[in-house]
Every structure is written in structure tokens, then in C-alpha cells.
């Protein structure tokens, strides 16, 4: 029986911006034309495929902004992930929902200073519920001021967690736009 293994070539990630305005523009640049379970699965699959080219194991999580969250996609890439990844995901997701910003933007805004951030969220007792480490990214739909979902990656360096989500979200957004154009031209 022939093997049908598909390999994806490693593609380096771009550098995460360190300017707040650039990060905000980056977050809004990939506002999707629509969002549903199929789009979430498409994004999750794109992330999974890309992350398989990295040696580090990672977790991918996509859920609505509702409480409790409606989980639309959750997967790991390689052996070696742990419950700790899921705890980071929960903290990153909570930060995106509370502040309407990527966790990388929060990291840059607070210069990675957990103590200053803790003051913002009401002290040390509350700080453990949130994270200012990159990897949590809001998912927007055009015409909607607030995010409709949160996409989180945990497992790489925090700036890479951020960039892999941003880059794959942009790719899915472009593909959806192209599909809409083709369908509109029929």
C-alpha cells in the first residue's frame, strides 16, 4: 500500500511588530467577510498544517467570544503538548475578550511587565486569569466593531504564536474574498 503522506515546506514567520498602531492595523487587516464553524475549521486546519512544519509542539484553539465559549476548533500538532498549553490558551483568550486586543498588543503596551498589567486587572489575585504573552488574536468580521471569536496558539515563542495566527488568518481571509469574487462573477 502506497503512503499518502503530505509534507508542507517550512515557511519562516514574519517578525512581529513592536509598534502599537502597527499591531492594531494588523489585527483589523484580516476582518473576515463572514464567520461560522466552517471558516473556523478552515483557519484551524491552515494553522495546523503550518504548525506541523515547526519542531515545537503547539495547541490551536478557536472559540466564540461568548461565555461559556463555543469551541469551534481545538487541536495539537505534535506529541509533547501538556495541560499547561490549555491553561495558557484560557488566559490568552480571557485577555483578548476583556481588552478587545491581541495578547501581543497587550505585551507590547505593558512592555512585558506582568506587575504593571496586574495593576490594570485589579491586582495579583486577578492577574492569573489573564496573559500578556503573544498568541491570542481577535477574529473580526467586516462591519462588526468587536471580535466575534478568538484564535489562540500556544507552544512557540510568544511572538511566533502571534505571527502564525496573524499570517494564517490573513491567508484564510484572502481565500474567502477570492471565493466571494468568483461566486459574485457567475
119 lies in some domain: yes
Structurally, the chain folds into a number of domains equal to 1
Q: Which domain holds residue 148?
A: 20-184
d(CA 90, CA 131): 9
95 lies in some domain: yes
d(CA 40, CA 61): 10
4 lies in some domain: no
d(CA 120, CA 26): 24
12 lies in some domain: no
8 lies in some domain: no
Question: 34 — phi, psi (to 5°)?
Answer: -160, 165
d(CA 48, CA 148): 21
153 lies in some domain: yes
Give 69-128 pLDDT, tens digit per residue: 999 999 999 999 999 999 999 999 999 999 999 999 999 999 999 889 988 888 777 788
List the CATH number of the domain containing 151. Answer: 3.30.450.150
pTM flag (> 0.75): yes
Angle of helix 158-184 versus helix 20-29 axis, rounded to 10: 40
Amino acid at each position: 500500500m502506497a503512503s499518502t503522506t503530505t509534507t508542507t515546506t517550512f515557511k519562516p514567520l514574519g517578525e512581529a511588530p513592536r509598534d502599537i498602531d502597527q499591531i492594531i492595523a494588523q489585527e483589523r487587516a484580516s476582518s473576515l467577510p463572514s464567520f461560522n464553524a466552517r471558516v473556523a475549521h478552515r483557519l484551524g486546519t491552515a494553522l495546523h498544517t503550518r504548525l506541523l512544519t515547526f519542531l515545537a509542539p503547539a495547541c490551536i484553539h478557536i472559540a466564540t467570544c461568548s461565555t461559556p465559549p463555543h469551541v469551534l476548533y481545538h487541536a495539537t500538532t505534535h506529541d509533547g503538548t501538556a495541560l499547561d498549553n490549555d491553561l495558557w490558551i484560557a488566559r490568552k483568550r480571557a485577555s483578548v475578550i476583556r481588552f478587545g486586543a491581541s495578547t501581543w498588543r497587550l505585551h507590547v503596551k505593558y512592555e512585558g511587565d506582568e506587575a504593571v498589567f496586574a495593576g490594570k486587572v485589579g491586582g495579583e489575585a486577578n492577574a492569573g486569569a489573564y496573559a500578556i504573552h503573544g498568541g491570542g488574536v481577535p477574529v473580526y468580521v467586516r462591519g462588526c466593531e468587536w471580535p466575534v471569536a478568538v484564535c489562540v496558539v500556544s507552544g512557540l515563542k510568544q511572538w511566533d504564536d502571534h505571527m502564525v495566527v496573524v499570517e494564517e488568518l490573513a491567508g484564510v481571509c484572502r481565500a474567502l474574498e477570492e471565493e466571494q469574487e468568483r461566486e459574485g462573477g457567475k
